[in-house]
Structure 1
């Protein structure tokens, strides 16, 4: 509502007030959609049926002429625009009527676009949030907390995401990624990549190989896309091992994580980012850092850094040094870090932050033995396992653990050869690992009644909560997990 002299008549409807209903009339019905209603004072009074209250609310004092036009677009009615002449007696001409029609048509289009944008924005946010993992997790390797803040203002939600999931042998995978573009397409691409990452991670691939496979997937997605340049993004994958306390990480065009050591020192590992996903041609490099227990990893997307990444990283380091203390929860730390962002209320880009506070398995909770490729080593392995489980007070797992170790060590001796390594890890579960120098992948199958062998892995699958294998630099490791309760 606006007046030429800056003063809005007190009798007319004010901002926020409901408008009284106007009775139906032939003049209004004739031009109710798409047309401009031109009315002088006499016609306006007839339309309002000379109702004193309606005339006060709809006709300013001294009105000579008026134009009215509905805001109508795509079958939706958004409102009605009305202009008046009170000081000038000349009626509105054809140019005024055309201008009124064009203004209302453009306004209705803008409002309709805003509705579409808002609906898509809300849908993308709901989709994005539904695909993210729980905000906080706790495992033998680390405690984690994630925060996602969608872009505000006129920017649609992007394809940022984070993830934290358990891997074999008590390890944890930490993920943060940023998909190119915004809107539903970016959220859908994020969903496909997140599913692929979890599938590839379940194969126990090292970070560089996982990124290489993910890069191949993105390039296939580019071939399928109408706009290939709209598919891609940056990605950071880290794997932390609570037994060795080593974190391996690789980056596809993503900034390095911040590491806060227990003494409060903040560092950025010397990570060499590879190309963005979808570029190809270049290999990805793995960076390894040893983290003392109680260290905090901060993985983030560029929305947290702002337009100047170098200045943003410096500010992040300063904020972490100030806020990251052992007695502050990760959830509180994340909220305070986001709160210090200059655009925290309405960020220009999505802000994603994943915090992980590392834990470690005590040395007394691990035991390692090596054996030659000698059948007699199976007896030694069983004896070592039985003695260690008795020392740990896990006598109820003796029978099942002995069968598992016997089968795995026997297969290693028969098909792989020396050196053979056996490791037990006690934490929330009992982990048994047998490593050998071959890359032959074990295959579970159901043996026929006439077969003399082939039942070992089937038996292991029945005795364990989880089992699998992963390749190492010198061969492979077959691992199993048993609940400490024995159930």
Structure 2
């Protein structure tokens, strides 16, 4: 019965057609001091007193004799009491009544300890039922909680299971309504469904969470309300059948929590975030406060030492969560390493290697206070009463401990909670171990990749260069992107950018092998298309090796762009294997993406690569990059190319600043893929740095050619190089006349080094050999190799070119242009 039904002057009006008679129950409210604060119409009918005559008086004045000691003790200690009391009627005679008393807690500062709601039915007994004995036995002894209510929603019969669940005998409940037997907001909903069953004649169903007297916690019920008809089909009452599904409900909740944990925990490879996801998912379904502490070695990716941790146990707080806003229970902040004494729950859990449940009794809190007073103070302040500690283990390694605590939920942890906490902690431990292993592999990959990428780009006469390498976010992992700048003969330079499929150490190792192969093939001076063909064959071999080693299909693949720029002719030849097209920014601000045939990615085999050549004005900027630069998440590739065009079209102070602007404009803070960016501004070597002569195929022309070369060195102020140059020119021109074919040409190039080149129409390459004592020849190339910085042969479409380089002193070499 609610307060609106037991007010000070309670003459409840019965609505026309309403079968429920509010005044059929005598009800009164009594405060904690024993003073009557509410009096119903039913109470007036029972005892004859009007509300004004009773409200404000002690309830004891209504008793005909002193109440039993057991009754007083029960009223002081129990939430509900039922029994017989003898009351004094207004006219003086005594009444023995069945009395049901509920204690209710009131909100607000003036609640004063709550109040008692006293109820007594005016209907003393039910008319006898005409059912046979077997039906009565089936009703009273049914394992289903069952009660029969009349059309006034008053209880007529209750079976034994109803008596057990409610904790009252049938006699104490007869004549009362559901809302008077169980004082709970859900009772009103039950009565609404009972009314609907009477009105519609249809069975009603509902599921409820109830706080029943005599039960420690919440119980969950499914209730069916069935209209009861007589032989003529007229509805005579409602049969209530209830099933306790608390265990099933809790099992579903646990399964739902496990499912949620499998979805929410491990969404990234970030160790701290994974730990926080464990703490978040356990609140509030499992615990009121959760902490996750890891052994300090874990966060660095290392394996912790074997065996039990040393005493005292040192743990780093990684995550925590609470049902209270701001987590006021926290003593140890995130990232802090704290000591846990041997007798602490966390230390005992890690030492035992199994989960532990500890009830925080007064003696247990005293022990915590003797070791860590700050923790004990918070536990007392917030009412910690039960703690569950679960070791975090994965793949045989102990990672740390997850601690679950309750201070708002009254139920202590039990075995089912332990199993649930162990399950979700095990899931989180695997994810944390994956993150730990990934952290270690990422660190190894970054170290390996850093060692394989060029530490510094060598100065070039052909181009000024700037570069950037940006590893992907932690989630994506380190990839196999690389770039390189390779000096070639004839003052030329090769620019390379590539991208190996995959991430991690394997991708970094494959990148290192490909970069080495590109440098080796570039040293042979192959054209871009032929170089990519050889590189394609190598990737196919790497895939075959991976397949034979691992027993599974190899997945090695890569894309690559290879460009060669000649500062003398100012021509650039480039070919690509499935790689993004380069950007070319002209000196006037025009930016183009040249039509370089895409070619297949490396590793497919059997398909040709094509070369595109273009002449570049001096000061042209070439931008070579990997796909991570333009294919950021949520952005179309064309939008990325347009953004790159916009940056390159604007003048910049230097290539370095342009690189920074490109990354800042095109990339988010955490890119999804590795990014390699190589930018080169072209230079040109004009006639003041290059001298060329045609040589007749006549041995007599060697002397005249030698003189021309010496005169050119004198004009350049390189007289100190005359002796070696004279010998080199003599040897190379003589070999071309003797073993090569017309036309023959000599070219001297002066940049940082002095380069001597002799070209002829023969494709036969010379080679070093050791001359015997009495041989007349065979020593020329050996001398050239000993006296120069380097020499070699490159093949052309019309023959070959033999070249040799001499190092010049800094004062003799031309001053390079800088940004």
Contact 2:693–2:745 (8 Å) recurs in 1: yes
2:423 pairs with 1:102: yes
Residue 186, structure 1, aligned to residue 510, structure 2 = no
Whether 2:439 is the aligned partner of 1:114: answer no
Does structure 1 conserve the Cα–Cα contact (< 8 Å) formed by 2:331 and 2:375? no
Counterpart check, 1:45 vs 2:365: yes
Residue 712 of structure 2, aligned match among 362, 370, 388: 388
Is the Cα contact below 8 Å between 1:31 and 1:37 reproduced in 2? no
Partner of 2:333 in structure 1? Answer: 15
Change in CA separation of 1:238 and 1:257 when aligned onto 2, cut-off 3 Å: same
Partner residue in 2 for 1:170:
491
CA distance in 1, matches of 2:448, 2:562: 23
Residue equivalent to 2:601: 276
Choose from 415, 428, 436 the match for 2:760: 436
Residues 119-158 of structure 1 deviation map (CA, whole Å, 9 limit, x = unaligned): 1112211211221113544211011111000001301110
Alpha-carbon deviations, 1:197-216, whole Å to 9, x = none?
10110111111111111111
Say whether 1:295 aligns with 2:616. no
Contact 1:65/1:91, CA 8 A, preserved across alignment: yes
Change (3 A) 1:18 1:433: closer
What pairs up with 1:258-273 in 2 under 5 angstroms? 258-273=583-598
Contact 1:150 1:351 in 2 (8 A): yes
Question: Measured at CA, do residues 106 and 383 of structure 1 come closer, stay the same or move farther in structure 2, by a change above 3 Å?
Answer: same
Q: Could you tell me how far apart the structure 1 residues matched to 2:466 and 2:620 are?
A: 14
TM-score scaled by length of structure 2: 0.56
Q: Tell me: CA distance 1:400–1:85, structure 2 relative to 1, closer, same or farther (3 Å).
A: closer
| Distance across 2 between alignment mates of 1:383 and 1:166 | 30
Distance 1:40 1:232, change over 3 A: same
Q: Give the counterpart of 1:365 among 664, 689, 696.
A: 689
**How much does 1:5 deviate?**
4.8
Separation in 2, partners of 1:462, 1:453:
16
Gap change, CA 1:171 and 1:48, over 3 Å in 2:
same
Task: Give deviations 1:92-144, integer Å, cap 9, x for gaps.
Answer: 23221100111222222222211111111122112112211135442110111
Q: CA deviation at 1:302?
A: 0.5
- Corresponding position of 2:641: 313
Greater mean alpha carbon deviation, residues 38-47 or residues 257-266: 38-47
Q: 1:279 offset after TM fit, Å?
A: 0.7
Q: State the match for 2:445 in structure 1.
A: 124
- Once the two structures are TM-superposed, the CA of residue 427 in structure 1 deviates from its matched residue by 1.9
Following superposition, the deviation at residue 405 of structure 1 comes to 1.2
Cα shift at 1:77: 4.2
Task: Describe the superposition over 1:285-309 as per-residue Cα deviations: whole angstroms up to 9, x where unpaired.
Answer: 1111111111111000001102532
Q: Which runs of 5+ in 1 are unaligned?
A: none
**C-alpha deviation, 1:30, in angstroms:** 7.3
CA distance in 1, matches of 2:582, 2:374: 67
Kept in 1: contact 2:346–2:389 (CA 8 A):
no
- State the partner residue of 2:610: 285
Partner of 2:136: none
- Provide, for residues 354-407 of structure 1, a one-character-per-residue CA deviation record: whole Å limited to 9, x for no partner: 010111112122121212322222122122212222222222222222221111
Consecutive unaligned residues of structure 2, counting only runs of 5 or more, are 1-319, 814-819
* Count of aligned pairs between the two proteins: 482
Task: From the CA coordinates, give the structure whose radius of gyration is larger.
Answer: 2
Distance, in Å, in 2 between the alignment partners of 1:93 and 1:163 is 63
Give distance in 1, aligned partners of 2:332 and 2:758: 79
Q: Higher mean Cα deviation, 57-66 or 24-33?
A: 24-33
Structure 1 residues 88 and 476: alpha-carbon distance in aligned structure 2, compared to 1, 3 A threshold: closer
SS of corresponding position for 2:649: helix
Which residue does the alignment assign to 2:382?
61
Deviation at residue 74 of structure 1 after TM alignment? 4.6
Give distance in 2, aligned partners of 1:374 and 1:48: 103
Q: Could you say if the C-alpha distance between residues 83 and 417 of structure 1 is closer, same or farther in structure 2, counting changes exceeding 3 Å?
A: closer
Deviation at 1:8, TM superposition (A): 3.7
The offset of 1:50, in angstroms, is: 6.2
Quote how far apart the aligned CAs of 1:229 are: 4.6
* Shift in alpha-carbon separation, 1:378–1:185, aligned structure 2, 3 A: same
Q: Distance in 2 between matches of 1:297 and 1:7?
A: 53
Distance (whole Å) between structure 1 residues aligned to residue 448 and residue 342 of structure 2: 45
- Does the CA contact (< 8 Å) of 1:261 and 1:295 recur in 2? yes
Change (3 A) 1:18 1:441: closer
Q: Note the aligned Cα RMSD (angstroms).
A: 2.4
Q: Contact conserved, 1:302 with 1:309, CA < 8 A, in 2?
A: no
The structure-2 alpha-carbon separation of the partners of 1:59 and 1:183, relative to structure 1 and needing over 3 Å to count, comes to: farther
Q: Relative to 1, partners in 2 of residues 1:35 and 1:438: Cα closer, same or farther, differing over 3 Å?
A: same
1:169-221 Cα distance to aligned partner (Å, 9 max, x none): 11111000000000110000000000111011011111111111111110000
Residues 500 and 507 in structure 2, CA contact (< 8 A), matched pair in contact too: yes
CA distance 1:33–1:260, change in 2 (3 Å):
farther
TM-score, with length taken from structure 1: 0.93
* 2:528 maps to 1:207: yes
1:64, distance to aligned residue in structure 2 (A):
3.4
Q: Does 1:2 align with 2:321?
A: yes
Partner of 1:476: 800
Q: Cα gap change, 1:398/1:68 in structure 2, threshold over 3 Å: closer, same or farther?
A: closer
Partner of 1:411: 735
Partner of 1:423: 747
CA distance in 2, matches of 1:44, 1:279: 69
- Assess if the C-alpha contact under 8 Å between 1:158 and 1:183 holds in 2: yes
Contact residue 135 and residue 147 of structure 1 kept, 8 A: no
| Structure 1 position 49, deviation (Å) | 6.9
Seen in structure 2, the aligned counterparts of structure 1 residues 8 and 481 have a Cα distance that, compared at 3 Å, is closer
The Cα shift of 1:40 comes to 1.6
1:35 — aligned with what?
354
Once the 2 structures are TM-superposed, how far is the Cα of residue 44 of structure 1 from its aligned partner? 3.4
